[in-house]
Structure 1
Amino acid sequence: MTHHATTTLGRFATGAALLLIAVAGARAQKTLPADTRFLTPAPPSGAVQQVESLLGQWQLKNALLIAAMETVPQAVWLTNGTPSEVSATVRSTLKQASWERTMPVFVLYNIPGRDCGSYSAGGAENTADYEAWIDAIAGAIGSQKAVIILEPDALADLPSDCGYNPSQVNITQATADRFTQINFAVTTLENGSQTSVYLDGGNSHWQAVPIMAQRLAQAGVQQAQGFFTNVSNFNLNNYESKYDTWVSECIAFANNPADGGWRLGNYSYCASQYYSPLGAVDPDNIATWVYTDEWFQQNLGTAVPTIHFVIDTSRNGQGTLNASVYASAPYNQPASVVTTLTNGNWCNPPARGLGTHPTANTGVALLDAYLWVKTPGQSDGTCDAAGGARAWNYSDYTAPGWPTDAAAQAVFDPLWGLDDPIAGAWFPQQALDLAKRANPPLLP
């Protein structure tokens, strides 16, 4: 794209860009009134079994904690199934929501090649199958009220980010297909008059603001309600809200011709959580983010951010895991281990807590809602050395009962002292830990 929109085509693109932003802003206004009540689905079987087990052990308070956790509104995940099967699930969920006069939140997690083939690998076989699956969901929702969390990690973790072997995967084609799939889903689902679609925005400690803004724009966020962040992650609300605001501002910056046609499409100019030309920015220290705030204040001009967002607060009550504690006694782990643990701190980190309860009354103009998107108590995966989320020097620290042979250590999680359940399975130790450390507390 040229720096100056002087041609007829440029003027058309400029008008189209402004129209898209106007549409996005209008759509964002139709969604999630401040008094919205979100659906509380039936508890997972693992939670029911854990409550029964705790009662059987006379652990009454712990049983109450898990039960209280399951009274909080949460999302319903749609991860597989034939079009007819997923349609049936959606219809039954909508019926429950209608009886209770609540808003259901659906997480669509079936994109081809999801999770880069890691712990949550799977998804539809191809684009045609995925589009048929999306059609079925859209048809089941119709004109009823629903929030759609569309494909967590699908944009923050494109096929081009997965490290695939190019001799085995056509990375360019797979990445292009990903945008085709998301665009189709946005267009199809947004046809529902009361369907609010949010796209994947990663989280504040992942892709830089310019990268995420560009990917969201390419994926069709200006035709959706907005984007979501922090799904299945642990970043504090203030970090996410600030990051999300910058992403929205960056989209506005790069789609506003009034202050110079050279800005159109140039998301890369935006400051971020990693860099600002006005001062050193540390992604782990929000006090330094003032320099990125200042950059947007100086450069937005007449651009007005209109893209809204929602934040997953299901497990961020205590923020992210600080893996540096494992460098100290009694663990005494080397720097290389601490680095791996830090990079894997998204995967079943211990000593976290449930976060802000779902609400659409956020007090932040662009923040439509805090939601419990990730089902608290469900495992992120085996979170082991074999999968790359853990490392451990057992000669520096071990405990009674820990494995002593390399094969067993490869699938062991030293942070929990056990073999974690597979992705999506109930993790009772983590569930109770999240409930005990909830912020705000679950029980008086």
Structure 2
Amino acid sequence: MPVIPKRLRAGVLAGAVSAAASIVPLAMEHPAVAATHVDNPYAGATFFVNPYWAQEVQSEAAAQSNATLAAKMRVVSTYSTAVWMDRIAAINGVNGGPGLATYLDAALSQQQGTTPEVIEIVIYDLPGRDCAALASNGELPATAAGLQTYETQYIDPIVSILSNPKYANLRIVAVIEPDSLPNIVTNMSIQACSTAAPYYEQGIEYALTKLHAIPNVYLYLDAAHSGWLGWPNNASGFVQEVQKVLNASIGVNGIDGFVTNTANYTPLKEPFMTATQQVGGQQVMSANFYQWNPDIDEADFAADLYSRFVSAGFPSSIGMLIDTSRNGWGGPNEPTGPSSSTDVNTFVNQSKIDLRQHRGLWCNQNGAGLGQPPQASPTDFPNAHLDAYVWIKPPGESDGTSAASDPTTGKKSDPMCDPNYMTSYGVLTNALPNSPIAGQWFPAQFDQLVANARPAV
């Protein structure tokens, strides 16, 4: 699944590092006064634009022969994306590249006067990471020694950097360990997940405890997506698992919220149907595509989770984030209205904007597009209690490959990234061909994401 801060082309990287270094003195001009911990860190704030990702996008635009597409890419380069700390080496920078402090200094340089600046970092290096897949396996084993390394060589150095007083007036959103707790809820029949589960819990408890002590850090736990946890048993199991971890660390009042659809493709909203709508005497959610899952999109799922958490004793102030980076599904194959079919399966297949054949397909999806741009406090779906639309997954970074493994990061070849692989769902993967290792720049996918953006750029 998700990915590392991108590796840039040599010339772009050198220029970007030089630019970042030149702005550090400007960053020091901002007073190191701790900001008040607010309910929604995105409200009233400007969003950090990763200069390294922006340079990659601008280089892609410069290589385009299609002037219209190139212009759209230049617009996209101004959007905010998260920074992934996907391995220990990323903290100080991989192979001379930018580290966490470099990104934070860049955020300070972008801050406009006293207007708050929000930057997102992804904590993603648990022992036995990505236990139910291969593409984003990590560097640390699911052992006691791996957990100790995670705590002392990964979390502690991150906490040390974030605690620097010069960053005290940044709003730092920390997205905690994508897919980890959801894997505990649904995938304990997989040996790697049952082995990793206690280390996932203990590692997250440690990370939350340490990060919660920093007043300007905002904690959002990953909550998978509607096609994974939308069924009532899965959703309730997730709430219970989160309660368990929080009760052993910072308590339910210590969490700021949850993020759904991280690095996934599930639409924000299916515009032409609802889950309970009747088609030929059958509810939409009974269709083969949804398999009786009542949360047919991320807006429904976020509202469902919010209600469940508050009912379980969480504060009503918790907020939801939705990763809309790649869930637009626009382009020439986008439905323009509901089907007229009275067969529920035909109706769903002809009406849904999610063009996948199965909701479990996740690797470099063919036909996907950019979704809603990052936005604070969207009001489209009040029951979801959204703090923001966010781009946690930087568009253009590969989900994984079926071609080769990377022994330096632990990321492996994954058949779900092979377009010719027949999945256990009985359908092909829908993955784009010739994808690089997770986290590396994938021009063909980025071109398609921009072309198929919904709403259009």
Find out whether 1:137 has 2:163 as its counterpart.
no
Q: Give the Cα–Cα distance (whole angstroms) in 2 for the partners of residues 387 and 138 of structure 1.
A: 36
2:134 touches 2:414 (CA, 8 Å); kept in 1? Answer: no
Find out whether 1:154 has 2:180 as its counterpart.
yes
Question: Which whole-Å deviations, capped at 9, do the CAs of 1:64-116 have from their partners, x for residues lacking one?
Answer: 22222221111111111348626972222111111211211111111111112
1:51 touches 1:67 (CA, 8 Å); kept in 2? Answer: yes
Deviation at 1:147, TM superposition (A): 0.6
* Distance 1:341-1:28 versus aligned 2 partners, 3 A rule: farther
Deviation at 1:33, TM superposition (A): 4.8
Match of 1:67 in 2: 74
Find out whether 1:32 has 2:32 as its counterpart.
no
| Letter aligned with residue 156 of structure 2 | D
Find out whether 1:199 has 2:227 as its counterpart.
no
Find out whether 1:179 has 2:201 as its counterpart.
yes
* Distance 1:274-1:149 versus aligned 2 partners, 3 A rule: farther
Q: Give the Cα–Cα distance (whole angstroms) in 2 for the partners of residues 194 and 51 of structure 1.
A: 35
Q: Which moved more, 1:44-53 or 1:70-79?
A: 44-53
Using the aligned pairs only, state the percent identity.
27
Find out whether 1:387 has 2:402 as its counterpart.
no
| Letter aligned with residue 99 of structure 1 | S
1:314 touches 1:355 (CA, 8 Å); kept in 2? Answer: yes
Normalised by the length of structure 2, the TM-score is 0.63
* Distance 1:369-1:175 versus aligned 2 partners, 3 A rule: same
Deviation at 1:179, TM superposition (A): 0.5
| Letter aligned with residue 36 of structure 1 | A
Question: Which whole-Å deviations, capped at 9, do the CAs of 1:38-59 have from their partners, x for residues lacking one?
Answer: 10011436534423322xxx33
Matched residue SS, 2:372: coil
Query: Structure 1 or 2: larger helix share?
Result: 1
Question: Which whole-Å deviations, capped at 9, do the CAs of 1:101-156 have from their partners, x for residues lacking one?
Answer: 12111111111111125101114341111112111111111234211111111111
Matched residue SS, 1:104: strand
Aligned counterpart for 2:450 among listed residues 418, 435, 443: 435
Match of 1:109 in 2: 124
Deviation at 1:345, TM superposition (A): 2.1
Aligned counterpart for 1:209 among listed residues 235, 247, 266: 235
Deviation at 1:302, TM superposition (A): 9.8
Match of 1:246 in 2: none
Find out whether 1:313 has 2:324 as its counterpart.
yes
Find out whether 1:231 has 2:262 as its counterpart.
yes
Deviation at 1:181, TM superposition (A): 0.4
Q: Give the Cα–Cα distance (whole angstroms) in 2 for the partners of residues 159 and 303 of structure 1.
A: 19
Q: Give the Cα–Cα distance (whole angstroms) in 2 for the partners of residues 343 and 237 of structure 1.
A: 14
Count of matched residue positions in the alignment of Structure 1 and Structure 2: 332
| Letter aligned with residue 134 of structure 1 | I
Matched residue SS, 1:114: coil
Matched residue SS, 1:378: coil
2:419 touches 2:432 (CA, 8 Å); kept in 1? Answer: no
Matched residue SS, 2:88: coil
Deviation at 1:315, TM superposition (A): 0.8
Q: Give the Cα–Cα distance (whole angstroms) in 2 for the partners of residues 343 and 172 of structure 1.
A: 24
Match of 2:391 in 1: 372
Match of 1:259 in 2: none
Matched residue SS, 2:51: coil
Normalised by the length of structure 1, the TM-score is 0.64
Aligned counterpart for 2:436 among listed residues 412, 416, 421: 421
2:58 touches 2:77 (CA, 8 Å); kept in 1? Answer: no
Q: Give the Cα–Cα distance (whole angstroms) in 2 for the partners of residues 302 and 152 of structure 1.
A: 23
Matched residue SS, 1:74: coil
1:200 touches 1:216 (CA, 8 Å); kept in 2? Answer: no
Match of 1:329 in 2: none
* Distance 1:62-1:29 versus aligned 2 partners, 3 A rule: same
2:150 touches 2:203 (CA, 8 Å); kept in 1? Answer: yes
1:51 touches 1:66 (CA, 8 Å); kept in 2? Answer: yes
Match of 2:11 in 1: none
1:148 touches 1:195 (CA, 8 Å); kept in 2? Answer: yes
Q: Give the Cα–Cα distance (whole angstroms) in 1 for the partners of residues 431 and 314 of structure 2.
A: 48
Find out whether 1:41 has 2:50 as its counterpart.
yes
Q: Give the Cα–Cα distance (whole angstroms) in 2 for the partners of residues 352 and 66 of structure 1.
A: 16
* Distance 1:206-1:109 versus aligned 2 partners, 3 A rule: same
Deviation at 1:188, TM superposition (A): 0.5
Q: Give the Cα–Cα distance (whole angstroms) in 1 for the partners of residues 429 and 227 of structure 2.
A: 24
Aligned counterpart for 1:353 among listed residues 345, 349, 369: 369
2:325 touches 2:393 (CA, 8 Å); kept in 1? Answer: yes
Q: Which moved more, 1:134-143 or 1:27-36?
A: 27-36
Question: Any gaps of 5 or more consecutive residues in structure 1?
Answer: 1-26, 240-272, 323-339, 395-412
Match of 2:29 in 1: none
Q: Give the Cα–Cα distance (whole angstroms) in 2 for the partners of residues 83 and 422 of structure 1.
A: 16
* Distance 1:121-1:341 versus aligned 2 partners, 3 A rule: farther
Q: Give the Cα–Cα distance (whole angstroms) in 1 for the partners of residues 328 and 214 of structure 2.
A: 34
Question: Any gaps of 5 or more consecutive residues in structure 2?
Answer: 1-35, 112-116, 271-283, 335-355, 404-412, 423-427
Deviation at 1:415, TM superposition (A): 4.2
* Distance 1:235-1:415 versus aligned 2 partners, 3 A rule: closer
Matched residue SS, 1:145: strand
